[in-house]
């Protein structure tokens, strides 16, 4: 565990925020440049790993994430809904739909339906990392501190 106050501050104030932004950026960017939901999810996962190594609970805006299973379900649901929705409008599963809308100040934005699928992947990956950290890290760790008996 990292005991340094400065490092803790650094991680808490900068790395978490920047890392989260980068992760979301990478996910969005994936459609046209290297990146995507998988990479983005892993980056956010790496942020949580850093928090963990700094001796903190994985947090978002200082609130601990208590239930990664829900995030897992949310991700799967999002991916599933994106997969199945085209079926109801006569398309093939996962067929992409492209919308172009114009937002004030920003300009023309192209939205592709598969982005939602990618965010499903993103959430699943983040949730998997969180669950491994929670269970193998915090709770699994508790097991290892138990003195091994059996021989004695």
Partner 1 sequence: MVFFAAVVAHFAVAVLALIGLRRRPVIAACAGLVVLAGTALVVATQAIGATSAPRKTIEWLPLLGFNFTFQVDGFAVVMALLVSLLGFGVLAYSIAYFEHDATFTRFVGLFMAFAGSMIGLVLAEDLFTMFIFWELTSVWSFLLIGLHDKSEVARRSAVRALLTTGAGGLCMLVGIGLLQNQFGTTSFAQLREAAPTGTMASVAASLLLLGAFTKSAQFPFHFWLPGAMAAPTPVSAYLHSATMVKAGIVLLARTAPIFGDTGVWRWWVVLAGVITMLIGGWRALRETDAKLVLAHSTVSQLGLLTVLFGIGSPYATYAGVAHLVAHAIFKAGLFLGVGVIDHELGTRDVSKIGAARRSVPVSVVAIGACLLSMAGIIPLFGFATKEKALVALLDAEFGLVGSIALWGIVAGSVFSVAYSVRLLHALVRTPNDSASHDEHHAHHEASALVRSTLAAPVVVAAVVSLGFGFAASTVGSWLVSPSSALDVKAVSKLALWPGINDALLISLVVIAIGAVIGWKAPLEDNSAQQPQGERVFDAVYDATIAGAKRITAVIQPGSLPIYVGVTLLLVSIAPLSATFVDGFGSLSGLTSGTALEASVSIIAIVLALGVAVLQSRFTGAMFLGGVGYAIAALFALRGAPDLAVTQLLVETLTIVVFLLALRAMTRITARPVARFPQITRMFIAATVGIAIPLLALAARDARTAPSASQEYFARSVDEAGGRNVVNVILVDFRGFDTMGEIVVLAIAALGVANLVRAAEQHRRAAISVKEVAGS
Residue among 19, 22, 45, 56 that touches partner 1 (CB under 8 A)? 45
Name 92's Cβ contacts closer than 8 Å, sequence gap at least 6: 86
Residue among 7, 15, 46, 74 that touches partner 1 (CB under 8 A)? 46
State the Cα angle at 76 between 70 and 77, rounded to 5°.
Answer: 85
Q: Where are the alpha helices (DSSP H) in 11-139?
A: 16-29, 37-53, 68-88, 114-132
Asked whether position 101 contacts partner 1 by CB under 8 A, the answer is no
Residue among 13, 25, 69, 87 that touches partner 1 (CB under 8 A)? 69
Q: Which two tokens stand for residue 139?
A: 């709770």
Query: 101 in helix, strand or coil?
Result: strand
Residue among 7, 24, 49, 65 that touches partner 1 (CB under 8 A)? 49
Report the interface residues with partner 1, using CB under 8 A. Answer: 30-39, 42-43, 45-46, 49, 53, 68-69, 72, 75-76, 79-80, 83, 93-96, 98, 110, 112, 114-115, 117-118, 120-121, 124-125, 127-129, 131-137, 139-144, 146
């Amino acid at each position: 565990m990292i005991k340094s106050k400065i490092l803790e501050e650094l991680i808490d104030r900068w790395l978490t925020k920047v890392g989260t932004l980068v992760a979301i950026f990478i996910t969005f960017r994936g459609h046209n440049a290297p990146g995507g939901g998988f990479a983005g999810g892993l980056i956010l996962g790496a942020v949580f790993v850093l928090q963990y190594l700094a001796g903190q609970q994985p947090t978002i805006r200082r609130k601990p994430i208590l239930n990664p299973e829900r995030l897992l379900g949310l991700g799967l649901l999002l991916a599933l809904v994106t997969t199945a929705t085209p079926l109801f409008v006569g398309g093939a599963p996962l067929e992409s739909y492209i919308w172009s809308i114009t937002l004030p100040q920003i300009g023309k934005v192209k939205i592709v339906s598969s982005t939602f699928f990618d965010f499903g992947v993103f959430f699943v990956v983040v949730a998997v990392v969180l669950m491994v950290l929670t269970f193998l890290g915090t709770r699994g760790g508790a097991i290892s501190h138990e003195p091994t008996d059996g021989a004695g």
